[in-house]
């Protein structure tokens, strides 16, 4: 194989070639299956061993719904089945890594997938105006996130953070990630010990754990927002794209080899205690000294049942 083809296939004669998922569970499966296929395809490109004789990756698109109406000038109807809040990082092309095409995803991208007012309003817009088609809201972080890395570095060495060369808006974005970094640091301290910060690989572990917790916190806040609008049928999910093996997982082992079973979009936390449980789980995953000893499959995040009468609303999620 000398060439690699990534193909968007439009067929105006078969507009219903790819029917939209009927409910939130089907939507989750479509995204996870799309990512399994994409990561498998990327792996086959890397190793030059295309599976089952198909050296192409084909994404079916509904021609009529993306601006190929039979009557010229007719406006196509917007009908995404998922709202995705992801990072602006150029290495994380949302539609590609989920194997989706035109009109499938309503994508909001901001550095560090930080939930500011405008970002939240964009989700609200989608829920209010595209409710006929939207089945899930997904928060998507990614390994090696530059915004989270900046927050970790500011957390560990705050002096540069307060330099006048850092603009107020950038400082505000970085600050909104500190809660996740602090939670990640607590998890590492609990699992690695009190001298965790002196251990080799601490900074990298803090970054990868904070990426997961940041996505979980944003999903927690969005879940409350979605439920507040009465859209009980819309599920909020979260995951992290591992830019090394191209898989979307939760939790994520950044050095794990590709494995279909690890592709997972987790349900948004319903209790803030799940952030700590996730921090501990990530600290255990990242503690491994030898990457070759990585478990082939990784358990899903721990869900903590709310204590009756315990308030979970109003918790700061950024």
Cβ proximity of 208 and 250 under 8 Å = no
Cβ proximity of 140 and 214 under 8 Å = no
- Where does this chain touch Zn ion (CB under 5 A) — which range of 89-97, 126-134, 243-251, 294-302? 89-97
- Where does this chain touch Zn ion (CB under 5 A) — which range of 26-34, 66-74, 132-140, 141-149? 141-149
By C-beta, is 34 or 112 nearer to Zn ion?
112
50 CB-contact burial (10 Å; exposed 0-12 / middle 13-18 / buried 19+): middle
By C-beta, is 90 or 292 nearer to Zn ion?
90
| Distance in Å, CB of 35 to Zn ion, minimum | 17
Listed residue (103, 95, 30) closest to 64, CA to CA:
103
By C-beta, is 243 or 280 nearer to Zn ion?
243
| Distance in Å, CB of 150 to Zn ion, minimum | 10
| Distance in Å, CB of 141 to Zn ion, minimum | 7
- Residue 295 in 3-state DSSP? coil
| Distance in Å, CB of 254 to Zn ion, minimum | 13
Number of C-beta neighbours around residue 230 at 10 A: 9
| Distance in Å, CB of 98 to Zn ion, minimum | 17
| Distance in Å, CB of 166 to Zn ion, minimum | 18
Single residue of 24, 32, 65, 89 touching Zn ion by CB under 5 A: 89
Stated length of the chain: 318
Angstrom distance (rounded) from CA 278 to CA 267: 13
By C-beta, is 97 or 234 nearer to Zn ion?
97
| Count of residues in contact with Zn ion, rule CB under 5 A | 3
Listed residue (224, 37, 31, 193) closest to 115, CA to CA:
224
By C-beta, is 87 or 137 nearer to Zn ion?
87
| Distance in Å, CB of 93 to Zn ion, minimum | 13
31 CB-contact burial (10 Å; exposed 0-12 / middle 13-18 / buried 19+): buried
- Residue 242 in 3-state DSSP? strand
| DSSP-H helix ranges across the chain | 24-47, 94-97, 117-129, 146-156, 158-161, 168-175, 178-192, 202-228, 273-287
| Distance in Å, CB of 112 to Zn ion, minimum | 6
Q: Is 208 in the site for Zn ion (CB under 5 A)?
A: no
By C-beta, is 89 or 183 nearer to Zn ion?
89
By C-beta, is 27 or 173 nearer to Zn ion?
173
Single residue of 115, 140, 145, 180 touching Zn ion by CB under 5 A: 145
Beta bridge partners of 142: 241
Single residue of 31, 61, 87, 114 touching Zn ion by CB under 5 A: 87
Listed residue (257, 270, 259) closest to 223, CA to CA:
270
What string marks each residue from 228 to 257 as x (binds Zn ion by CB under 5 A) or -? ------------------------------
Q: Which residues bind Zn ion (CB under 5 A)?
A: 87, 89, 145
């Amino acid at each position: 194989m000398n060439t690699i083809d990534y193909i968007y296939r439009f067929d105006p004669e078969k507009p219903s070639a790819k029917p939209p998922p009927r409910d939130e569970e089907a939507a989750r499966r479509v995204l996870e299956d799309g990512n399994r296929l994409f990561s498998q395809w990327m792996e086959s490109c890397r190793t030059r061993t295309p599976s089952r004789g198909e050296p192409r990756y084909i994404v079916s698109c509904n021609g009529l719904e993306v601006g190929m109406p039979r009557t010229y000038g007719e406006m196509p109807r917007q009908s995404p089945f998922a709202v995705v809040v992801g990072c602006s990082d150029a290495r994380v092309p949302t539609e590609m890594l989920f194997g989706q095409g035109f009109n499938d995803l309503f994508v909001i991208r901001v550095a560090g997938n930080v939930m500011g007012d405008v970002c939240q309003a964009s989700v609200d817009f989608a829920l209010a105006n595209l409710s006929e088609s939207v089945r899930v809201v997904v928060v998507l972080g990614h390994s090696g996130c530059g915004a989270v890395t900046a927050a970790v570095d500011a957390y560990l060495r705050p002096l540069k953070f307060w330099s006048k060369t850092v603009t107020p808006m950038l400082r505000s974005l970085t600050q909104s990630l500190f809660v996740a970094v602090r939670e990640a640091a607590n998890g590492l301290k609990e699992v690695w010990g009190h001298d965790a910060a002196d251990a080799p690989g601490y900074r990298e572990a803090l970054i990868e754990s904070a990426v997961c917790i940041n996505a979980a916190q944003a999903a927690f806040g969005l879940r409350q927002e979605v439920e507040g609008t009465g859209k009980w049928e819309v599920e909020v999910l979260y995951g992290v794209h591992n830019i090394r093996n191209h898989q979307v997982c939760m939790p994520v082992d950044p050095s794990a080899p590709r494995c279909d079973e690890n592709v997972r979009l987790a349900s948004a936390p319903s209790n803030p205690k799940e952030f700590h449980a996730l921090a501990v789980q990530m600290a255990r995953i990242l503690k491994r000294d030898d990457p070759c000893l990585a478990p082939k499959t990784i358990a899903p995040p721990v869900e903590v049942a709310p204590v009756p009468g315990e308030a979970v609303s109003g918790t700061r999620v950024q």
